[in-house]
Structure 1
Amino acid sequence: MTIPAVDSFAGKLAVVTGGGSGIGRELVRQLAAQGCSVAACDLNPDTIAVTAATAWAAAPPGLRVTGHTCDVSDEAQVQRFRDELLAEHASDHVDLVFANAGIYGGGSFVGDSRQEWERTFAINWWGVYFCARTFLPLLIASGDGVLVNTCSVAGFWPTAGAGAPITAYAASEFAIKGFSEALIEDLRSNAPQVRVVVAMPGVVNTEIYENSQRALGRPAWDQLSDAGLLELIPDRTRSTLIEMGLLAEDFSADDLRQLIPRMKEKIRDQGFTPAQAAAGILDGVRSGAWRILVGEEAKMLDEQVRANPEAPFNYDNYAEMYGPLIAQAQAKASGTAEP
């Protein structure tokens, strides 16, 4: 199914949640660069202020970019965000809503705390739900509104591999995907002025770990005790780092403290970047697609699970699955032709 394309974002008003970093920040920046006014929110007041100021400064004249503090898991805060942006943008409608905010946590339903599990689910799922409830009337008022829900590939691939459950994250992403797909007919029948899009990125090189720690009330990695820091590294990751020669067999917490910033700096602009992910989402919205697989990993996992619904749990096949993508990335990094 293809919905009508969006000819241009120029002159429109977009809402972006989770706009303080990662994909959200790039959505704000790229929308503004294309002549779209943007109201963006984030849990972190400092990062959203920087996003709004830098995006507005680089945008064409005649538009406005505003930053707002909002916890999307709290409906009252989402409604306050709505009221603030309508006043600041002097508008009675919005044209696009990118429900992008999300965190990563609550991996184990068995072993992790109920508080962490439910906090993760609340930000990811209830954030999308409250945004839809709050902004749908304003999208209808635009006459040609688009609701874009981000759910990641965890919405159809519910595991990160052996020993790495992602139950809260995957459950919330499945809810977002199902809700978005069910909205297609609901909107077509009852609000044809609005279209829904579900965007599903694979792994993107963002600050989601740091942001998730903050949202869950946990200290940053550099504020952890030695024991707390060492507990962050699963056995499989330990083995990989040792095999790669990045850590010694008997590495200490101090060794890890020195390695983490070096690795973060090394991979900062590698892999699939937020700028690429945001561009893919906007291209998909412009094209009229309702289902956007963002990145080569997302496309590969989609093909795998369609061919075999049990593929996510066949961990022995992961190396074979990811082999071509790893080879492609290595070829790109070395400047050689792709294999």
Structure 2
Amino acid sequence: MKDFAGKIAVITGGGTGMGRELARQLVAEGCNVAMCDVSAEAMAETKRLCEVERLPQGLRITTHIADVSIEDHYKRFRDELMEQQATDKIHLLFNNAGIGGGGSMFINTREQWERTFNICWGGVYLGVRTFLPLLVRADEAHMVNTSSVNGFWASVGIGVSHTAYSAAKFAVKGFTEALINDLRLNAPHVKCSVVMPGHIGTSIVSNSRKVQLGTESDQLSADELTQARQRLKGQGVDVAKLSDADIQKLALDRARIFHDEAPTTAAAAAKIILDGVKADRWRILVGDDAHLLDERVRKTPEQAYTPEFYQSIVAETGWKVG
């Protein structure tokens, strides 16, 4: 698929981050977009940003409320899309929605763990299940499933448990690789790609709290304070000297740093992804840190979870540890 003009794209998690930037860049190329998110306000802002530039006549941008972990939401999204976009087919599917949280099998609740897993993995699976028939009806089509560097390296540091997100992203990567042959056998005009971003400047840290806890408040709960203390202790910080207010400030700084000081912006990530689709690449690494990690994990897999390995990655990538 060398260009996107006149095509119809579905984007999950279109309200913020890479989903928003994918929508903006696709619209700029003349592609119709249908996005879903749990936040109507965030999607409205994405749509406004898409419309800042004069749109080609007849181009359609539609927004749909959907929790991607719930199949009935997906079915409603599909039905609304078909009506509002006046189509029975789509050309592009970006299974992009994701959250963090639920990192520990010991500290986090089962509900928190499964919330993360069911969005990050279940959202991709249900997205493919729901929209595959519409992709097959198109003359050419491409699905893009967002995994992560945590789909081949299950860590964000020695002091942080990261099981739910990593398990989900490993599943997304394996599923997409298996789809390559499944599509070749049964729908050869439909292609697929797995996207593995490194540290991208998005609001996933703050957005994950909103989804997990159902709150807009920046104030950490008692459980979150306990988990933050454990994370900091694992990073070698003397938490006994820190008050709850200190922990709260560090948590806010962490979310800001993740967004503002990332080595790759969401806009740059979206361009890399779309260029990868045009080049028909099934494996799309996003960011210099992703390329470095991929190389190192492949070269020394037995060392990948040692403190020395992580420290060397931080030193070479400039990741902000918080």
TM-score by length of 2: 0.90
In the aligned structure 1, how far is the partner of 2:252 from the partner of 2:168?
A: 30
2:127 corresponds in structure 1 to: 131
For the residue of structure 1 that corresponds to 2:294, the secondary structure is: helix
Q: Give yes or no for the alignment of 1:273 onto 2:262.
A: no
For the residue of structure 2 that corresponds to 1:310, the secondary structure is: helix
What letter matches 1:60 in structure 2?
L
Q: Deviations over 1:26-80 (max 9, x none)?
A: 1111111111110000012221122123213435322111111100111111011
For the residue of structure 1 that corresponds to 2:228, the secondary structure is: coil
What letter matches 1:187 in structure 2?
L
**Counterpart selection for 1:117 from 94, 113, 116:** 113
Give the C-alpha shift of residue 156 in structure 1: 0.6
In the aligned structure 2, how far is the partner of 1:143 from the partner of 1:209?
A: 39
Matches within 5 A, 1:1-339: 6-58=1-53, 60-62=55-57, 63-220=59-216, 222-224=218-220, 227=222, 230-235=225-230, 237=232, 250-255=241-246, 257=248, 268-271=259-262, 272-326=264-318
In the aligned structure 2, how far is the partner of 1:15 from the partner of 1:73?
A: 16
What letter matches 1:22 in structure 2?
G
In the aligned structure 1, how far is the partner of 2:45 from the partner of 2:189?
A: 33
For the residue of structure 1 that corresponds to 2:34, the secondary structure is: strand
Unaligned runs of 5+ in 1: 1-5, 330-339
In the aligned structure 1, how far is the partner of 2:275 from the partner of 2:215?
A: 37
Indicate if the aligned counterparts of 2:225 and 2:248 stay in contact, CA closer than 8 A.
Answer: no
Structure 1 101/189 Cα, relative in aligned 2: closer, same or farther at 3 Å?
same
Unaligned runs of 5+ in 2: none
What letter matches 1:237 in structure 2?
L
Give the C-alpha shift of residue 299 in structure 1: 0.6
Indicate if the aligned counterparts of 1:297 and 1:325 stay in contact, CA closer than 8 A.
Answer: yes
Q: Deviations over 1:176-230 (max 9, x none)?
A: 11110000011001101100110000111211122111221254552335x5564
In the aligned structure 1, how far is the partner of 2:306 from the partner of 2:54?
A: 47
In the aligned structure 1, how far is the partner of 2:307 from the partner of 2:182?
A: 38
1:336 corresponds in structure 2 to: none
For the residue of structure 2 that corresponds to 1:306, the secondary structure is: helix
Indicate if the aligned counterparts of 1:229 and 1:253 stay in contact, CA closer than 8 A.
Answer: no
Structure 1 317/264 Cα, relative in aligned 2: closer, same or farther at 3 Å?
closer
Count of aligned residue pairs for this structure pair: 318
What letter matches 2:187 in structure 1?
A
Give the C-alpha shift of residue 267 in structure 1: 6.6
Indicate if the aligned counterparts of 1:197 and 1:289 stay in contact, CA closer than 8 A.
Answer: yes
Moved more, 315-324 or 77-86: 315-324
Indicate if the aligned counterparts of 2:219 and 2:248 stay in contact, CA closer than 8 A.
Answer: no
In the aligned structure 1, how far is the partner of 2:208 from the partner of 2:258?
A: 19
Superposition RMSD on alpha carbons, in Å? 2.5
Paired-residue identity, %: 46
In the aligned structure 1, how far is the partner of 2:54 from the partner of 2:98?
A: 26
Q: Deviations over 1:224-262 (max 9, x none)?
A: 35x55643534563797979xxxx984434445556656
In the aligned structure 1, how far is the partner of 2:248 from the partner of 2:35?
A: 34
In the aligned structure 1, how far is the partner of 2:10 from the partner of 2:97?
A: 11
What letter matches 1:23 in structure 2?
M
Indicate if the aligned counterparts of 1:51 and 1:67 stay in contact, CA closer than 8 A.
Answer: no
In the aligned structure 2, how far is the partner of 1:37 from the partner of 1:85?
A: 11
